[in-house]
Amino acid sequence: MNRYIWSFDGKTMAEQPYVLIKRGEIIELELVNDTMMHHPIHLHGHFFRLLMGQGARSPLKHTVDVPPMSKRTVEFEANEAHDWMFHCHILYHMMSGMARIFRYEDATSSVGATHMANAASPTDHSVTHAGGLGEHAHDMSYIWGAASVQTNMSEGLLTWMNPKNDLQLAWEVGWERVDEPQYEIDFLYQRYFNPNFQAFAGYRLTNDADTKDRGLIGINYRLPLMAWLNVSLDTEGDARFTLSKRLQLTPRMGIWGDVFYDTGTRWEWSAGADYTFTRRTSLTASYHSDFGPGVGLLIRF
């Protein structure tokens, strides 16, 4: 959910558009929602039975809500033809990739020009993407960011992302307890493999007296209890190991902490708390091992 890119089975509609079925089949689907949002799932052109242990009294529906951390089992008779949309009925979930097309395998081009895409092989993206998927043929991308300005320092992140790729600009600038402002700025490309693992490569700019500008590669790995481990290696031969964790105590208040060991610059740590005022702003307070305590404003955009 952090990425806010939605899918079925880890693939967006642009990555895997079709579910092939045959007329006369009985199709059973198990819908598992392991996110913290509701997903009302809708099938066009068919009614399905909601299998909830009611046997012959199982209700017929075309939309079923799958609540957070739950599952629903449905079945339907494949008694139509051509292509039928299957998607989350929260439309911005659908547009970001939470959709499929149930395609009857016996579809042919004889149905006319308006259904030419039905006759194409599901792997023939030159035809199906141009004529059949329309705006769903390409994954959506997003730009978002967050930045804090405190009495001791500023840090932030600006990201462009699509379902599998991120371009990131991250910075940390501190001015308390140092002779002159000290900065570290990362320009990174990150590849998203799954919610537990990402790999990245990029370049780091810094004016730290103990190091210099350098390239770097690394990974992010999610540990038990939702803690994150970051491991990186730079072109100067130094390695960095970072452990970070956030706890959301109330709907508006959270606390966080991180610590890293760098073979070039040694230990550094920080901890803090923030309180959400509005969708875009929070009050934040923190302590940094190099720059001391600070309070300020966090802005999301």
Domains belonging to the chain, first-starting first, are 18-137 (2.60.40.420), 142-300 (2.40.160.40)
The full 3-state SS of 254-288, as one line of letters, equals: EEEEEEEEECCCEEEEEEEEEEECCCCEEEEEEEE
Give SS3 for 128. helix
pLDDT digits (tens, 9 = 90+) for 264-283: 889 999 999 999 999 999 99
What letter does residue 210 receive in the DSSP assignment?
T
> What is the reported pLDDT for 135?
83
Q: How confident is the model at residue 118 (pLDDT cuts 50, 70, 90)?
A: very low
Q: Residue 112: pLDDT above 80?
A: no
Neighbours of 157 (CB within 10 A): 14
In the predicted model, what is the mean pLDDT of the chain? 90
Confirm if 39 and 33 have CB atoms less than 8 A apart: yes
Per-residue model confidence (pLDDT) at position 134: 81
Q: Which of 96-100, 115-119, 215-219, 230-234 is the least confident region?
A: 115-119
User: Which residue has better confidence, 208 or 186?
Assistant: 186
Task: State the residue for tokens 């039928």.
Answer: 84
Alpha carbon distances (Å) from 115 to 24, 85, 86, 164, 202: 21, 14, 18, 31, 46
Residue predicted with more confidence, 51 or 127: 51
pLDDT at 65 over 50: yes
Instruction: Provide the β-strand partners of residue 243.
Output: 229, 259
Name the percent of the chain lying above pLDDT 90.
79
Q: How many whole angstroms separate alpha carbon 292 and alpha carbon 154?
A: 12
Token pair belonging to 162: 């699509």
pLDDT exceeds 60 at position 200:
yes
Quick check: 41 and 87 in contact, CB under 8 A? yes
Q: Which residue has the higher pLDDT, 267 or 119?
A: 267
What pLDDT is attached to residue 2?
73
Closest CA to 2 of 186, 148, 194: 194
What is the pLDDT confidence band of residue 107, given thresholds at 50, 70 and 90?
A: low
The arithmetic mean of pLDDT across residues 131-150, rounded, is 87
Q: Do the strands 18-21 and 99-104 form a parallel or antiparallel pair, or are they unpaired?
A: parallel
CA dihedral 58, 63, 66, 72 (to 10 degrees): 30
- Which residue bears the tokens 């939702």? 226
Q: State residue 53's pLDDT score.
A: 83
Give the mean pLDDT of 30-48.
95
Nearest to 117 by CA among 99, 137, 95, 139: 137
Residue in the structure block whose two tokens are 């016996």: 106
Q: H-type helices in 38-171, by residue range? A: 91-95, 125-128
Percent of the chain with pLDDT over 70: 91
DSSP string, 150-207: ESSEEEEEEEEE-SSEEEEEEEEEE-SSSSS-EEEEEEEEEEEEETTEEEEEEEEEE-
Q: Please, are residues 156 and 170 in contact by the beta-carbon 8 Å criterion?
A: yes
* Residue 39 and residue 86 in contact, taking contact as beta carbons nearer than 8 Å: no
